[in-house]
């Protein structure tokens, strides 16, 4: 079965994964905002450690009302813009469309389901170092794999086809238990996104300081323990996973995480889903994410200074 894809949010994440699918021959329709006119004329350029490519011509749009109905919608918006989905999604949905939220945090799918009770929803966790480096121009610096999982898909087999398409496009993909996968991604996102903003620095500088490494590990262990409590024994995320993540980051290309870039450009920070929701979820099971609560308050203070 050949799937028709849409990308809502063609930035560092949507531009890369949608771009890889399109380059491999899949039919992909891209929604752009500020770059629409530029991309229509010049195409979408991806500079990647795995090989540069240019999509030209490209199925580019500045409104979903002009897009066809698609089988799979990859949502790669900042979660701070998820309130827009109520209007963006309906024109590109048919009754069996699967929407995959390639976003960071917890509770994203549940919130979307409230607005679209009958929608087939999945989640995606991207392990990638990428950023938008110019108009219609994505830079991919390291990693690139993605994990996906069903939240409410009536036909889970479609995710197997998505996995096959991504694999064929050169993107390593796994299908995992979604809630567990979201907690495991938070083991990286909570410490590195937050500390890069609070300390105003990049991943390599955080990793090159012994005291900061110790703090990062303590925060990671708190995420793991909170996730395991929320999973009521189903997740069994080992505490050694913190050391695996630290080792992965140690060898990663020096990188400014997405929240650091949002801070640098005075954009809203993704505090709600990356910090507040995990704190609330763990609290439901009697576990207090005390270090993460401090991070959340610091980030809200920092954001209030420039928004």
Do 72 and 186 lie in one domain? The reply is no
Question: 185 catalytic, yes or no?
Answer: yes
* Residue 295 clears pLDDT 80, i.e. is over it: yes
Helix (H, G, I), strand (E, B) or coil at 272: helix
Do 283 and 138 lie in one domain? The reply is no
Dihedral sign (CA 57, 62, 66, 69): positive
Name the residue with higher pLDDT: 303 or 255. 303
The catalytic residue among 95, 185, 260, 284 is 185
- Say how far apart CA 27 and CA 77 lie, in whole Å: 20
pLDDT-derived band at 4 (thresholds 50, 70, 90) equals very high
One-character DSSP codes across 124-183: EEEEEEEEEEETTEEEEEEEEEEEEEESS-S-THHHHHHHHHHHHTT--EEE--HHHHHH
pLDDT tens column, 257-290? 999 999 999 999 999 999 999 999 999 999 999 9
Give the domain-ending residue among 176, 195, 223.
Answer: 176
* Residue 40 clears pLDDT 90, i.e. is over it: yes
Locate 248 and state its tokens: 């992965």
Give the domain-ending residue among 147, 176, 205.
Answer: 176
What percentage of the chain reaches a pLDDT higher than 90? 96
- Say how far apart CA 153 and CA 116 lie, in whole Å: 13
pLDDT-derived band at 155 (thresholds 50, 70, 90) equals confident
Do 172 and 203 lie in one domain? The reply is no
Crossing angle between the packed helical segments 240-250 and 178-198, to the nearest 10 degrees: 50
- Say how far apart CA 225 and CA 190 lie, in whole Å: 13
> Exposed, middle or buried, 33 (CB in 10 Å: 0-12/13-18/19+)?
exposed
pLDDT tens column, 8-35? 999 999 999 999 999 999 999 999 988 9
What pLDDT is recorded for position 233?
86
Do 21 and 167 lie in one domain? The reply is yes
* Rounded (10°) CA dihedral 184, 216, 107, 152: -10
What percentage of the chain reaches a pLDDT higher than 70? 100
- pTM for the model stands at 0.95
What pLDDT is recorded for position 213?
97
* Residue 45 clears pLDDT 80, i.e. is over it: yes
Give the domain-ending residue among 143, 176, 209.
Answer: 176
Residue 116 belongs to what domain range? 4-176
Dihedral sign (CA 53, 103, 82, 101): positive
Mean pLDDT of 112-129: 97
**In the chain, how many domains are there?**
2
- Listed in sequence order, the residues at least 6 apart from 121 whose beta carbon sits closer than 8 Å to its beta carbon are 98, 99, 100, 101, 109, 112, 113, 151, 152, 153
One-character DSSP codes across 39-105: HHHH-EEEEETT--EEE-S--EES-GGGSPP-SEEEE-S-GGGGGGHHHHSGGG--TT-EEEEE--S
> Exposed, middle or buried, 132 (CB in 10 Å: 0-12/13-18/19+)?
middle
- Say how far apart CA 266 and CA 133 lie, in whole Å: 16
pLDDT tens column, 177-234? 999 999 999 999 999 999 999 999 999 999 999 999 999 999 999 999 999 999 998 9
pLDDT tens column, 101-114? 999 999 999 999 99
The CATH number of whichever domain residue 262 belongs to comes to: 1.10.1040.10
How many angstroms from the chain centroid is the CA of residue 44?
20
The CATH number of whichever domain residue 164 belongs to comes to: 3.40.50.720
pLDDT tens column, 240-251? 999 999 999 999
Q: Yes or no: say if 127 and 105 are a contact pair by the CB < 8 Å rule.
A: no
- Angle subtended at Cα 185 by Cα 179 and Cα 187, rounded to the nearest 5 degrees: 110
Do 15 and 164 lie in one domain? The reply is yes
Roughly how many angstroms between the first and final C-alpha of the chain, as a whole number?
46
Do 144 and 257 lie in one domain? The reply is no
Do 18 and 162 lie in one domain? The reply is yes
């Amino acid at each position: 079965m050949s799937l028709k894809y849409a990308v809502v949010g063609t930035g560092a994440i949507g531009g890369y994964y949608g771009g890889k699918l399109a380059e491999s021959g899949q039919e992909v329709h891209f929604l752009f905002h500020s770059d629409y006119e530029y991309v229509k004329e010049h195409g979408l350029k991806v500079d990647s450690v795995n090989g540069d490519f240019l999509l030209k011509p490209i199925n580019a749009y500045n409104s979903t009302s002009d897009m066809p109905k698609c089988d799979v919608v990859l949502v790669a918006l900042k979660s701070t813009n998820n309130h827009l989905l109520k209007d963006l999604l309906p024109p590109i949905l048919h009754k069996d469309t699967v929407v995959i939220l390639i976003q960071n945090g917890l509770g994203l799918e549940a919130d979307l389901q409230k607005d679209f009770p009958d929608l087939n929803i999945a989640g995606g966790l991207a392990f990638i170092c990428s950023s938008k480096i110019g108009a219609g121009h994505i830079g991919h610096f390291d990693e690139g794999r993605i994990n996906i999982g069903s939240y409410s898909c009536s036909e889970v087999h479609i995710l197997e086809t998505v996995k096959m398409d991504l694999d064929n496009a050169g993107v390593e993909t796994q299908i995992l238990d979604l809630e567990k996968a979201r907690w495991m991604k938070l083991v990286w996102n909570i410490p590195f996104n937050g500390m890069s903003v609070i300390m105003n620095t990049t991943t390599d500088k955080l990793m090159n300081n012994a005291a900061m490494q110790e703090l990062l590990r303590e925060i990671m262990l708190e995420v793991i323990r909170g996730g395991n409590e929320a999973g009521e024994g189903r997740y069994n995320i080992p505490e050694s996973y913190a050391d695996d993540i630290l080792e992965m980051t140690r060898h990663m290309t020096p990188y400014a995480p997405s929240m650091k870039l949002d801070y640098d450009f005075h954009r809203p920070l993704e505090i709600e889903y990356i910090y507040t929701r995990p704190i609330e979820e763990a609290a439901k099971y009697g576990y207090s994410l005390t270090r993460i609560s401090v991070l959340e308050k610091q980030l809200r203070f920092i954001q209030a200074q420039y928004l």
